[in-house]
């Protein structure tokens, strides 16, 4: 059984200055971990020859597998290929398969090709070429001693295609990897430290091959139980038994016992009950609808959304009374309840969730400071509203509002039976 560690190197100045957020490393780590390969380090470097060479040396000392993304484009700042040539002692040559792929893409798009585009088909002569079925830049597989290096495009869609179709299958054929399995709970309504105290006895009793991880995010908390190593049948049985105990210990806060977002859990409940949903959003600006429609199959239960950011939209489309707005203001219990009633009527949904608040950085008042939010959920029989006070920046306030709105909706649907 091979114990294989991997390092991930992401290349690009845009990553270091924060212009682009590195989502590649997180996705790659998840996929490798599922396959039994443990990611021990993730490193970001700029488009700098010396830094890239140093990163390759550093990670090769640590890990059997080094995965590299970025720097394979057609512009002058994309220097990964020549640096890899230098590192592995090769020279750039045109790969016939990669050239045909580039020509095919440009022909299909009916776009002219220039010399710079053709250079995408160049690869070091001492690598194994990995086809890019989603773009023009091929991937490259190198081996030195007992180390494997794989270079892939930084474009997430292209990298994911290579990882799924070629890189992970090749690694699985090369190594005999330890069995690894996860089970995940999604919780709401309890903080990480309180939960850790609640689960102290459970955690202290875990066998050495099982680990418990706490993964908080915007008002939600994932608990991931992982078993690593051992005979697969026995390891799975151990994991399932412990997971059942964990589920009982956290039943008070349990959203779902699957590794899916809360919007997905709500969607399953709605489908099972044959019910539909709509949203009436002010301060969240359609973000809740975005989370709902990010779930495949949401068209079966999601009716639509009214993004009533302006008061005249609240009155004109949702029927919120002008006098009500003047008396209580847009950020009030009365307004979000009226938004629910209006959306139930206009959208024809069985359930509606509505939001109105002050996200910041300005717009707050003495009695309604920045972060004040009202959320209402309801159906034709009942509407409930709750006030929240958040204290973060605009983006995080929006995300927290959406998460809490979905959790309020989940609880309301559960209580409606």
pLDDT of residue 139: 96
Tell me the residue ranges of DSSP E strands in 70-219.
Answer: 92-94, 122-124, 128-130, 139-144, 147-152, 180-188, 210-217
| Mean pLDDT confidence for 274-289 | 98
pLDDT of residue 223: 96
Compute the distance between CA of residue 184 and CA of residue 213 in angstroms, rounded to an integer: 9
Task: Look at the domain 262-416 and name its fold.
Answer: Maf protein (3.90.950)
180-256 is a CATH 3.30.70.2860 domain: yes
pLDDT of residue 219: 82
Query: What residue segments make up the domains of the chain, in order of their start?
Result: 5-174, 180-256, 262-416
Compute the distance between CA of residue 155 and CA of residue 244 in angstroms, rounded to an integer: 40
Contacts of 95 (CB under 8 A, 6+ apart): 121, 122, 123, 129, 138
pLDDT of residue 119: 87
Q: What sign does the dihedral 98-164-25-4 (CA atoms) show?
A: negative
CATH number for 5-174 (one of 3.40.980.10, 3.10.20.30, 3.30.930.10, 2.60.120.650): it is 3.40.980.10
Predicted confidence (pLDDT) per residue in 25-66, tens digit = 999 999 998 888 989 999 999 999 999 999 999 999 999 999
Predicted confidence (pLDDT) per residue in 87-128, tens digit = 999 999 999 999 999 889 888 888 888 888 888 999 999 999
């Amino acid at each position: 059984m091979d114990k294989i560690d991997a390092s991930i190197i992401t290349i690009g100045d845009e990553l270091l200055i924060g212009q682009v957020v590195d989502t590649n490393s997180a996705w790659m780590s998840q996929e490798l971990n599922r396959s039994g390969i443990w990611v021990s380090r993730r490193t970001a470097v700029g488009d700098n020859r010396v830094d890239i060479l140093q990163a390759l040396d550093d990670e090769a000392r640590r890990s059997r597998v080094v995965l590299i993304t970025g720097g394979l484009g057609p512009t002058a700042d994309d220097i990964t290929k020549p640096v890899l040539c230098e590192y592995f002692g090769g020279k750039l040559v045109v790969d016939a398969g990669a050239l045909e792929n580039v020509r095919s893409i440009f022909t299909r798009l009916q776009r002219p090709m220039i010399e710079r585009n053709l250079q995408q088909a160049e690869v070091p002569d001492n690598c194994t070429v990995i086809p890019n079925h989603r773009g023009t830049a091929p991937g490259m597989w190198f081996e030195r001693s007992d180390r494997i290096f794989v270079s892939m495009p930084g474009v997430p869609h292209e990298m994911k295609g290579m990882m799924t179709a070629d890189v992970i299958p090749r690694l699985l054929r090369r190594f005999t990897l330890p069995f690894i399995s996860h089970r995940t709970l999604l919780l709401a309504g309890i903080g990480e430290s309180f939960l850790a105290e609640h689960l102290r006895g459970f955690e202290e009793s875990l066998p050495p091959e099982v680990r418990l991880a706490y993964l908080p995010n915007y008002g939600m908390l994932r608990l991931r139980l992982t078993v690593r190593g051992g005979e697969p049948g026995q390891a799975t049985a151990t994991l399932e038994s412990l997971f059942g105990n964990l589920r009982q210990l956290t039943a008070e806060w349990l959203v779902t016992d699957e590794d899916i977002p809360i919007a997905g859990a709500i969607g399953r409940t709605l489908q099972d009950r044959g019910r539909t949903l709509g949203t009436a959003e002010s301060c969240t600006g359609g973000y809740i609808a975005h989370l709902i429609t990010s779930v495949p199959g949401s068209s079966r239960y999601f009716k639509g959304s009214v993004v009533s950011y302006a008061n005249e939209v609240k009155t004109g489309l949702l029927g919120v009374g002008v006098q009500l707005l003047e008396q209580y203001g847009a950020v009030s219990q009365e307004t979000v309840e009226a938004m629910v009633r209006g959306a139930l009527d206009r959208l024809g949904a069985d359930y509606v969730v509505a939001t109105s608040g002050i996200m910041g950085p300005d717009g707050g008042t003495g009695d309604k400071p920045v972060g004040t939010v009202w959320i209402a959920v309801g159906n034709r029989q009942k509407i409930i509203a709750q006030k929240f006070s958040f204290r973060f920046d605009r983006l995080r306030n929006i995300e927290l509002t959406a998460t809490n709105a979905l959790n309020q909706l989940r609880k309301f649907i559960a209580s409606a039976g």
